[in-house]
Structure 1
Amino acid sequence: MKELLLFLSCVLCVSADPLHSDIAIGGCSESDGENMYGLDGEEIAYADFNKQEFIYPQPPFIDPITVPGGYESSVAFQHSCRENMKLFGKGMKDYPPEQDAPSAVMIYTRDEVEFGEKNTLICHVTGFYPAPVNVSWTKNEQKVTQGSTINVPYPNKDGTFTQISRLQFTPQQGDIYSCAVQHLALTQPLTKIYGTHVKTEPSVHQNMGLTLGLVGVAAGTFFLVKGNECS
């Protein structure tokens, strides 16, 4: 994340007032790279250089869109991108890079929560520059890696980026999940928490004079709150 990352983008519209718009993004660093294609604000395909294939994160109910030769052309682009990066690096070595921390981090579930039923937690990060961010997950304060994915950065209209990380999980009562976001412009991670506690009716402890209740906070998390009653 500390290395220079260059992004080249191109938007093609069918008219001055377009019905559809598509975008292609290519980027590279000394150790990483990106090639992505999108349509109407949705991610259509991207190159996964670890798996050495083109990924199509499209829902099953649409007609599939493919990019023939997409991975091979992405590999070729990465080579030329790194060569250009060396040239730009020499010419701009004293130019301070712009950095914007994420303006919003949200955590929520894909579907309505039912205990014991498989679901997906979503960590939505937006408003940052440059790309990418790093997202890590925990369950009950233990790091989780299995079942987590993150898409490639997607550009916003203001020049910043959005990235979404997903975690497959099965909700169980009492479990606490968190997603922590790291970025060049942050001095410490931004962390959001999601808990799976059951909401119940308030109860009263007659002897102690304590009122026990449950209140909800962001992302559907519920915590126990105590309030003293004087008699």
Structure 2
Amino acid sequence: MKMKELLLFLSCVLCVSADALHSDIAVGGCSESDEENMYGLDGEEVAYADFNKKEEIYPQPPFIDPISYGEEAYKSSVVFQKTCREIIKLCGKGMKDFPPEQDAPSAVMIYTRDEVEFGENNTLICHVTGFYPAPVNVSWTKNGQKVTGSSINVPYPNKDGTFTQISRLQFTPQLGDIYSCAVQHLALTQPLTKIYEVEASAHSDPGVGPSVFCGVGLTLGLLGVAAGTFFLIKGNECS
């Protein structure tokens, strides 16, 4: 599939070292149909310009001290976009004979935010990573029917130059329901689709996060037992 638009992304990373290392990132990008200005800290999205609502959005959790870039943040993003489009015009003329690079998503995962309980509100998460250029398009279905009301964050850059995006869908688990997220990208000839089925054992199946922590805890426990047995044997030999 040929790319019909030229994409320009500029990023700046600032690291401050004290007792801990923090990474502060600013990303600005534009194409013939898309535009982005985003700020992040330590791999998390802090703020981004919403050019449809014409305001700066701060998707920060309520338990942290809020971070703000001031009243001029959105105006600065608008000015940047004008400059970006002028640069794109110049780059388009100079690079018209160079085919753009495209990387299809390297991984697509679907999982729940919280432990699943029938009849209790939850969130399905479709995690897409390893693609270039940005963005991807994510659509959802429930029992084969398209559903609306999902959300998706702005593309977040990975260390290897590719991008990550996360789409979320609010849902209420009911036995037998089947959900899917379909990912579309310039480098794909057909969508990548992942399925989530609400099964009878869903009420006892935690999300990805709890499973990982349980696995780590079990591993550490087994290592502790093995170490204790080793020192007990050594102690008996010495006596």
- TM-score, normalised to structure 2's length? 0.80
Q: Look up the match of 2:11.
A: 9
Which amino acid in the other structure matches residue 166 of structure 2? I
Q: Deviations over 1:81-130 (max 9, x none)?
A: 00110000000001111111100000000000111111110000001111
Quote the Cα distance in structure 2 between the aligned partners of 1:51 and 1:120.
24
Q: State the secondary structure of the residue aligned to 2:193.
A: strand
RMSD over aligned Cα atoms:
2.0
- Structure with the largest fraction of strand: 1
Tell me how far 1:199 sits from its aligned partner.
3.4
Q: Look up the match of 2:136.
A: 133
1:92 to 88, 91, 95: 95
Which amino acid in the other structure matches residue 183 of structure 1? H
Q: Look up the match of 1:228.
A: none
Matches within 5 A, 1:54-69: 54-68=56-70, 69=72
Tell me how far 1:17 sits from its aligned partner.
9.6
After TM superposition, the runs of 4+ consecutive aligned structure 1 residues lying more than 3 A away are 15-18
Whose RCO is larger (CA < 8 A, sep 6+)? 2
Q: State the secondary structure of the residue aligned to 2:195.
A: strand
Asked if residue 114 in structure 1 is aligned to residue 148 in structure 2, the reply is no
CA contact (8 A) 1:2 1:184 kept: no
- Structure with the largest fraction of helix: 2
Tell me how far 1:5 sits from its aligned partner.
1.5
CA contact (8 A) 1:109 1:120 kept: yes
Unaligned runs of 5+ in 1: 201-215, 220-231
Unaligned runs of 5+ in 2: 209-239
Q: State the secondary structure of the residue aligned to 2:37.
A: strand
Quote the Cα distance in structure 2 between the aligned partners of 1:91 and 1:46.
30
Q: State the secondary structure of the residue aligned to 1:114.
A: coil
Q: Look up the match of 1:31.
A: 33
Query: How many pairs are equivalent?
Result: 202
Matches within 5 A, 1:141-180: 141-146=144-149, 148-180=150-182
Q: Deviations over 1:182-207 (max 9, x none)?
A: 0111110000000112039xxxxxxx
- TM-score, normalised to structure 1's length? 0.83
Q: Look up the match of 1:199.
A: 201
Quote the Cα distance in structure 2 between the aligned partners of 1:5 and 1:178.
29
Q: Deviations over 1:130-162 (max 9, x none)?
A: 11111001111111112x100011111111111
Quote the Cα distance in structure 2 between the aligned partners of 1:122 and 1:176.
14
Which amino acid in the other structure matches residue 197 of structure 2? G
Tell me how far 1:29 sits from its aligned partner.
1.2
